[in-house]
Amino acid sequence: MLGVTGGIAAYKAAELTRLLVKAGIVVDVVMTDAATRFVTSTTFQALSGRPVLTDLWESGAANAMGHIAVSRGADAILVAPASADFLAKLAQGRADDLLTTLCLARECALLVAPAMNRQMWANKATQRNVAQLAKDGVTILGPDTGELACNENGEGRMLEPEALFDALVASRQPKLLAGKRVLLTVGPTFEAIDPVRGITNSSSGKMGFAMARAAAEAGAEVTVVAGPTSLPTPAGVARIDVTSAAQMAEVVLGRIDRADIFLAVAAVADYTPEAPSERKLKKSSAVQTLTLKPTVDILATVAARANAPYCVGFAAESHDVLGQAEDKRKRKKLPLLIANRAQDALGSDDNEVALLDDGGAHPLPRMEKLALARRLVSEIAQRLARK
């Protein structure tokens, strides 16, 4: 159920409705009277394909209990935008219109996306109401900081529809890693040859960030150590940016004692130039020889620790994928390794992998990387429970 209250951000709720319907989610839209002053109910009916509810006394139930019945079939209620007035009513338990009544009579999760002027958001009364709602188990999404409709800048801007969609989907994921602390490495590394050139690889970081998002959705406290990548950080994930394999190793080894699970997803360089030039190397007709030295094997170093966290490796191989990956798993003494063909995975939006553990190889079908990440988090949680 999507609740829409009065505010200029109501127009964004139309895009949110489209995203939800596109994902196969049935959406019942409930609008306050003030919301209809900004966007018409016809817009939401066209996007949702269902009647839009606005009146407490005409809520569509034959037994006159529509103000209760409408929310009974909902898996979640999301109110976006949620005005300061609506938050106050909700915190006080008031039910003077259809939306507040449905929220009070609900049997499902309630999420609210505040949207208002920055002074209204910062007001002690609003903050008191928000704190009470959080204490009551209501999920507060945002607000964001940015340009507001009043031509001011500050906190109070409603999260974008895509972010709200992601947050809603995340709220429905099983909390399989609740209370766990997860440390991940993500993306490529860049090993400098001179100030402008270096050795890197084609890893995009998509699989790593999908794993970070899935772990956060599962209730874990997640920290990502990211090599050079422009991908955005998933909601609820802490991020530390690094460039080289040495920098990545330093950050990981400095934080590993606080981790319960270590996911080595990054494509870390195996070698780095022995003596990088401090000046740009000039082109000439002479043959150039580059001497390389091995980098620190981050995963093997972590796995060899006396009190090592649960370590999961990722292996992208060009040939004999299962054989090469199993050799890597045994050599590094890992309980679990995820293997795939490098040609099929690096930079793509989907992936096909096999899980390797002491019980053998367990192939999974090709799927979109976020769906795969959620499956892998489930597999990891099951193994942790058995351990």
List, for residues 128-177, the tens digit of each pLDDT value.
999 999 999 999 998 988 776 667 777 888 999 999 999 999 888 899 99
C-alpha to C-alpha distance for 240 and 224, rounded to whole angstroms: 6
Residue 315 has what pLDDT? 87
Q: What's CA 278's distance to the chain center, in Å?
A: 39
Please report the sign of the dihedral spanned by the C-alpha atoms of residue 105, residue 108, residue 109, residue 112: negative
Grade residue 312 by pLDDT with cuts at 50, 70 and 90: very high
- The residues of the chain that CATH labels 3.40.50.10300 are 181-386
Residue 343 has what pLDDT? 64
Q: Please tell me which residue in 103, 108, 150, 311 is annotated as part of the active site.
A: 150
Residue type (1 letter), 3 = G
Which of 329, 377, 324 has its CA nearest to residue 356? 329
Has residue 349 got a pLDDT over 90?
Answer: no
* % of the chain residues with pLDDT over 90: 71
Residue 377 has what pLDDT? 96
What average pLDDT does the segment 73-97 reach? 93
The 3-state DSSP class for residue 63 equals: coil
Grade residue 99 by pLDDT with cuts at 50, 70 and 90: very high
- Pairwise pLDDT comparison (337 vs 342), residue with the higher score: 337
Residue 376 has what pLDDT? 96
pLDDT tens per residue, range 20-34: 999 999 999 999 999
**Is 150 known to be catalytic?**
yes
**Which of 66-70, 128-132, 340-344 is modeled with the greatest confidence?**
128-132
Count H helices and E strands in the chain, helices first. 14, 21
Share in percent of the chain as helix, strand, coil (round to 5): 35, 25, 40
**Angle at CA 194, nearest 5°, toward 193 and 198?**
40
Contact 98, 29 (CB under 8 A): no
**Which of 65-69, 87-91, 280-284, 340-344 is modeled with the greatest confidence?**
87-91
Alpha carbon distances (Å) from 224 to 87, 140, 191, 209, 348:
34, 24, 20, 8, 20
Residue 145 has what pLDDT? 82
- The residues of the chain that CATH labels 3.40.50.1950 are 2-171
Which class is domain 181-386? alpha beta
Which of 36, 110, 40 has its CA nearest to residue 79? 110
What average pLDDT does the segment 249-262 reach? 96
Which class is domain 2-171? alpha beta
**For the chain, what is the mean pLDDT?**
90
Give 183-230 as a DSSP string.
Answer: EEEESB--EESSSS-EE-----SHHHHHHHHHHHHTT-EEEEEE-S--
CA-atom Rg of the chain in angstroms: 25
- Verdict on whether the full-model pTM lies above 0.85: no
Residue 283 has what pLDDT? 87
Contact 144, 110 (CB under 8 A): no
Residue 286 has what pLDDT? 87
